[in-house]
Amino acid sequence: MTNPSQLFLLADHIKLSLLERERAISLDLEPNSQDGEISWSLESLRESIEALEAEQTRLANSHDSAGAAALKDQLTPLQAQYRDLSTQFYGADGEPSANNTTQASKSATPDLKQPIPQHPPSKSVRFMDSSAAAAAVQDEIDEEDERNRSNLFRPYRDEPSPRPDQSNMDNQQVYDHHAQTMRDQDDQLDRLGESIGRQHQLSIQIGDELDGHVQLLDGMDGDVERHQTRLDGARRRIDRIRRKAGENWSMMTIIGLIIILVILIVILK
């Protein structure tokens, strides 16, 4: 019996193939190279689903309700996926046309459905009527590809340079050449060491500057904390004055009324 999990994987593979086909169509490319594979996969998925339906019927007839129910739960999403994929590939009707059916019957796989073309054939303009010119262009493209391929797989060197011909040198000349090469390498290593030393000194200076900035930031944090402490003390003093003023407000009101009363008595006399 076909494993339903394998059918889910097959459906996912068909979905990816359809996405690639739609991508090729959007780029005005010919997706016909994958049409046969997609059609064969859809046909295989349909036959496997029919086999599972037959197995479900057999389980139901043999009074195995649990197995039939479990198989039905897996069949339902598979059937839905097959309908969606078939609609995307064949069109809304889901059936090939009569012309496609006739052509399919003449092919090596007569049971495959032919998809409905989803984009018109591209229009081309003939700039060269000579087939020899087209062949020459193709040869140039092939030569360029071959050169690129040879450059890609060439051994890597930091600074490729031609090696001197040592076939005509005697032992002393070869020794002198190697000694000169060693001296050149020593000079390069010395310059590299000097460069590394300068970079080390620069890194030390940058570290000292960063330490100075850290000290400045620490001092600024201390100043901010002191100012915040002073602001908090001033706020507390203002709060105390406000509370005292609220407590003495009634007394000040009485004193003011007494003064006004005394002034009125003096004026009326």
Whole-model pTM?
Answer: 0.35
Reduced to 3 states, what is the DSSP secondary structure of residue 123?
Answer: coil
Cα gap 33→55, rounded to integer Å: 35
Domain endpoint, select from 47, 81, 106: 106
What average pLDDT does range 168-174 have in this prediction?
76
pLDDT of residue 16: 84
* Ramachandran area for residue 96 (φ above 0: left; ψ -120 to 50: alpha; else beta): beta
- Domain assignment present for 59: yes
pLDDT of residue 100: 40
Residue 144 scores a pLDDT above 90: no
N residues, the chain = 269
The answer to the question of residue 162 being in a domain is no
Q: How many domains does the chain have?
A: 2
Rounded to the nearest integer, the mean pLDDT of the chain is 75
Following DSSP, what letter does each residue of 78-104 receive, concatenated?
HHHHHHHHHHHHH-SS-S--HHHHHHH
pLDDT (mean) for 215-243: 91
Q: What is the pLDDT of residue 218?
A: 92
Question: Would the pLDDT of 217 be above 90?
Answer: yes
Of all residues in the chain, what percent carry a pLDDT higher than 70? 69
Residue 193 lies in a domain: yes
Which of 51, 74, 106 is a domain's end point?
A: 106
Task: Select the more confidently predicted residue: 241 or 157.
Answer: 241
pLDDT of residue 225: 92
Tens-place pLDDT, residues 64-82: 788 888 888 888 888 888 8
Does residue 126 belong to any structural domain of this protein? no
CA distances from 67 to 63, 75, 80, 150 (A): 9, 12, 20, 60
The answer as to whether 100 is a domain residue is yes
The answer to whether the CB of 24 falls within 8 A of the CB of 59 is: no
Is the per-residue pLDDT at 29 higher than 70?
no
Supply the pLDDT for residue 105.
Answer: 37
Does residue 99 sit in the same domain as residue 183?
no
Which pLDDT score, from 0 to 100, does residue 125 have?
A: 42
Judged against a pLDDT cut of 70, whether residue 116 lies above it is answered with no
Q: Is there a single domain that holds both residue 101 and residue 185?
A: no
In a domain, residue 165? The reply is: no
Q: Which domain holds residue 257?
A: 173-263
- Which of 90, 106, 122 is where one domain is finished? 106
**Same domain for 100 and 10:** yes
Answer yes or no: is 142 within a domain: no
Please state, in angstroms and rounded to a whole number, the distance separating the CA atoms of residues 67 and 88. 32
pLDDT of residue 228 exceeding 50: yes
- pLDDT value of position 214: 93
Check pLDDT > 60 for residue 122. no
Q: Specify the higher pLDDT residue, 246 or 43.
A: 43
- Rounded to whole angstroms, the Cα distance separating 82 from 27 reads 26
Which residue bears the tokens 């009101």?
Answer: 253
Residue 252: pLDDT band by 50, 70, 90 thresholds?
A: confident
Q: Is the pLDDT of residue 34 over 60?
A: yes
Percent of all residues in the chain with a pLDDT value above 90, rounded to a whole number: 14
Does 164 map to a domain? no
